[in-house]
Amino acid sequence: WGEVGMALGVAAGMALFTILFGTRNVDAKEQHHGVVAAIALEAIVKLTALVAVGMFVLYSGGGLDAIFTRAEEAGLDIHASETFGDRWVATLLLAAAAIICLPRQFQVTVVENSDESHLRTASWAFPGYMLLMSLFIIPIALYGLTTMPAGSNPDMFTLTLPLAAGQDGLALFAFIGGFSSATSMIILESIALSIMVSNHIVVPVMLRLTAGDGIGEGQSVRRLILNARRLSIILILFLGFGYFYLTRGSDALAPIGLISFTGVAQFLPAILAALFWRDASTRAAIAAISVGFLIWLWSSFMPSFASSSPMVAQIMAEGPFGIAWMRPQALFGLVGLEPLAHAVFWSLFLNTSVLVVGSLLTNQSALEHVQAALFLNVFSKSASETNPLRGSAEADDLFLIARRVLGHERAVTIFSEEAKQARMAWTSLEPSSAFIHRLERELAGSIGAASAHVMLSKVVTGSAISLEEVMQMADETQQAIEYSQELERTSSQLRATAEKLEVANQQLRRVDQQKDEFLSQVSHEVRTPMTAIRAFSEILLSEDDLDANARQRFMATIHKESLRLTSLLDEILDLSALERGERSWENRPVNAEDSVDQALQVCDALARHSQTVVQTSQRAGRSIVMADSDRLSQVLINLISNAIKYNGATSPEIDVRSRIDGTNYIVEVADNGVGIPEQERARIFDKFYRGRLGEAFAGAGLGLPI
């Protein structure tokens, strides 16, 4: 019991020191200046002691080169590839995670920070301090491995090397440095953990059990919180002693620290998700942390008892019930990794996988949506302004809460400041929303934000706000937001539909106008030849004494007008069939130049009659294209005949040109006429529309549309 008794005494002493200097007040934001000053002094002593031992090693070993040379001669592979292997990567990851996840880091960086500008100094001073701490580690380790007896504990080299050389004073200084290092970490960690236990476990449980009524005259919340923190400190330190005792007083300090770091690293995925992923789910985070801790307990924590427990040693060797793939350090059949890297890989891999998959498969509640938005946008709007307590309260009731939680002196100070500002006695105060806000923040520093909000809601609104009520309010808010968004989408759809209807209405008006023009034009075009046919037919029937020449002329006119009427009807039927997609096409390889020649031949008589000179200044030569030759000829005839009929020049001329441009066959019809006026060009393909020049010639206005 000598070593165990000493360890028990040290644990009890540190518990007493931490309780005396770390739990005097309940305010979680209280800065322990004396504790921080002591820790700062311990840090200087620790660094100075390590540097002193390092300089002693360099001097005794004959310099850095001599130490490395002696290590190589002793067979130490200082350039081994595993130096930067899986264990090194795992250790680096755990060190980074510890800076983010360890409660003591938050305690020093945030709670104990008295000036935000100090963070700028700490951003380079902290890495610099760590660099100085690491500077002499390798020389001390190599010198100890080559000079100390085999089996010596490397963690003790800072003590055993000076003792072996007779430097008892240096050894004592190193012991003081190591002791200060250990105590500073334990004290800070205990304070931070005790605050977490009291604020996030004890007080919420108390409020739930008492339905928010645990603030009466007969109970002191402040005393309850202080006692909870003191008991937490004792429990934490004696749990550490229990681990030391059950592992048979293991003196391997580094492995114990790495086991702890692996455990606390299980919070890292959830912390990062909370900081950067809006869709992370609370249930998924809880499940992920639970899975990660189970893997950590199995693959990292339990194996540390192998030396003291035969059952654990058997599980390590064979697996539970002989299941080999469940061996803690060969989990799921993965072998070859160093034990630390193995535990880190499986715990964080499964932790992260459960978090991601769980968040994708589960839907966030409305409360989670609101909390995520507030958390990720914390700098855009103060969190304290997002959910203020609304209502009225008596100053006496609020003072009662403040006195129970903060103590009489602090409560009097807060209410006196408010009374001084309002220029009245504090007993006559009518607490404003701003004052209730301030009081909530003060209480949050002692019992946590959630507990403070629930406790004050009992007095301000007359009833405690349950989690279910908060979620219901958030759900209603979310439903209102979703309904508003749905109305916005519906309104946008209605606007788009109205615009489409307006466009369709304009098209219908144009179609109606075209219908009127069609009926007018067709009736005119049909009436003209029918009138001529009827007139000449009546002459032929009534006049028996007509000579043969007159009879022949009348019959020729009837035939001509019949052909004109037939042509008009054919054009109308062709256009109708084309618009309905019923006209069949017979595309085949044809010589496009033949179609041009055919069109010129058909229009030759029309050109001669109008005394129009038709020339072909450029021809492409034989050009094979895929086309319907009849339709192609019809298009060319319409173009050339229009150019002849509507030229309007004194000496009309037309030039028909064809050429090849890459893979395109191009036909151009140019004339020296006045052309189509600018205002009529947009309508040249409208059915039955005829321009100003077209009124002098017969036609239905269907050539270009076809």
One domain, residues 661 and 591: yes
Mean pLDDT, range 19-42, rounded to an integer: 70
Question: What number is the average pLDDT over the span 191-219?
Answer: 68
Better-predicted residue by pLDDT, 418 or 50? 50
Same domain for 486 and 567?
yes
- pLDDT higher at 447 or 487: 487
Number of domains observed in the structure of the chain: 3
What is the distance between the alpha carbons of residues 648 and 672, in angstroms, rounded to a whole number? 9
Residue 521 and residue 441 share a domain: no
Report which DSSP code applies to 603: T
Beta bridge partners of 626: 589
Same domain, 597 and 567: no
Mean pLDDT of the 336-352 span:
89
**What is the rounded distance in angstroms from the CA atom of residue 497 to the CA atom of residue 29?**
59
CA-based nearest residue to 561, from 522, 538, 531: 531
More confident residue, 269 or 384: 269
Per-residue pLDDT at 218: 40
Q: Considering the domain boundaries, does residue 95 fall inside one?
A: no
Q: 479 burial class (0-12, 13-18, 19+ CB within 10 angstroms)?
A: exposed
Q: Could you tell me if 593 and 668 lie in one domain? A: yes
Residue 54 belongs to a domain: no
What's the whole-number mean pLDDT along residues 652-676? 87
Q: Are residues 541 and 461 in the same domain?
A: no
pLDDT by residue (tens digit) across 423-459? Answer: 776 666 677 777 777 777 777 666 666 566 666 666 6
* pLDDT, tens only, 229-275: 888 888 888 888 888 878 765 555 667 888 888 999 999 999 888 88
Answer with the one of 576, 611, 628 that is the final residue of a domain.
576
In a domain, 175, yes or no: no
pLDDT grade, residue 551 (50/70/90)?
A: confident
In a domain, 51, yes or no: no
Q: What string of DSSP letters covers 539-558?
A: HHHH-TT--HHHHHHHHHHH
Query: How far apart are the two ends of the chain, measured CA to CA in Å?
Result: 112
Q: Domain residues for 426?
A: 381-465
Shared domain check, 549 and 516: yes
Same domain, 531 and 610: no
Give domain status of residue 93, yes or no. Answer: no
Residue 473: pLDDT over 50: no
Does the structure show a pLDDT above 90 at 287? yes
Average pLDDT over residues 453-476: 54
Q: How confident is the model at residue 192 (pLDDT cuts 50, 70, 90)?
A: confident
Least confident window among 388-392, 512-516, 550-554, 680-684: 388-392
Average pLDDT over every residue of 192-201: 81
Residue at which a domain ends, from 465, 490, 520: 465
How does residue 63 score in pLDDT terms, banded at 50, 70 and 90? Answer: confident
Give me the mean pLDDT over the 165-181 stretch.
86
Identify the domain boundary among 550, 576, 602: 576
- Would you say residue 595 has pLDDT above 70? yes
pLDDT band at 389 (very low <50, low <70, confident <90, very high): low
Contact status, residue 23 vs residue 233, Cβ threshold 8 Å: yes
pLDDT at 286 over 50: yes
Residue 518 has pLDDT above 70, yes or no: no
pLDDT > 80? residue 129 = yes
Give the separation between CA 165 and CA 168, rounded to whole angstroms.
8
Q: What whole-number distance in Å separates Cα of residue 555 and Cα of residue 563? A: 12
Helices (H), 430-547: 433-447, 449-460, 467-542
Task: Identify the pLDDT of residue 477.
Answer: 47
Share of the chain above pLDDT 70, in %: 74
Is 533 within a domain?
Answer: yes
pLDDT of residue 578: 61
Find the CATH number of the domain harbouring 538.
1.10.287.130
What pLDDT is attached to residue 700? Answer: 55
Strand order in the sheet with 653-661: 613-618, 653-661, 664-671
292 lies in some domain = no
What is the mean pLDDT of the segment spanning 277-303? 89
Which is higher by pLDDT, 221 or 626? 626
Same domain, 439 and 505: no
CATH number where 611 lies: 3.30.565.10
The tens digit of pLDDT for each residue in 79-123 reads: 665 566 788 888 889 888 988 888 878 777 877 777 778 888 888
Comparing 17-26, 371-380, 407-416, 552-561, the range with the smallest average pLDDT is 371-380
Residue 71 located in a structural domain: no
Confidence band of 178 (pLDDT split at 50, 70, 90): confident
Mean pLDDT across 123-148: 87
Verify that 608 and 639 share a domain, yes or no. yes
Quick one: 493 and 428 in the same domain?
no
Mean pLDDT of the chain: 77
pLDDT at 165: 86
> What secondary structure does DSSP assign to 467-487, as a single string?
HHHHHHHHHHHHHHHHHHHHH
